[in-house]
Amino acid sequence: MINGLPQKLKMLRMKYNLSQKEVASMLDLSPSVISGYETGERTPSAESLLALSYLYKCSTDYLLGKEQTEPPFTLNIDGLNEQQLQALSILIKTMKQG
């Protein structure tokens, strides 16, 4: 088991609002495998680790504990029109100002 990996995988999955079933489908694995990764009962192969890093937009170094910086939050804006993007931008600016 890789120290801290199960917790990071669960935290990242929740951050992206994905179920274990959705992650499993995206990686062509079974939900029980994803569950095993998140409980520490299973260790991902190098191929699965790389796929997880692409899915969660982070480095394998972060997942393996070599790099401590949490990956930045990303927001999927696909499908939003220009007016919706402007409203979202205003909302974000307002929230940053406190």
| CATH number of the domain encompassing residue 33 | 1.10.260.40
CA atoms 63, 6, 23, 31: torsion sign: positive
User: What's the CA gap between 69 and 62, in Å, rounded?
Assistant: 7
Amino acid at 72: P
User: What's the CA gap between 25 and 14, in Å, rounded?
Assistant: 16
Give residue-wise pLDDT tens across range 44-65: 999 999 999 999 999 999 999 8
pTM of the entire predicted model? 0.70
Of 5 and 78, the structure prediction assigns the larger pLDDT to 5
Give the domain extent around 60: 5-71
User: What's the CA gap between 82 and 69, in Å, rounded?
Assistant: 32
| Cβ-contact 20, 6 below 8 angstroms | no
Mean pLDDT in residue range 60-88:
83
**Number of domains the chain contains:** 1
Is residue 29 in some structural domain?
yes
Is residue 90 in some structural domain?
no
Share of the chain above pLDDT 90, in %: 60
Is residue 55 in some structural domain?
yes
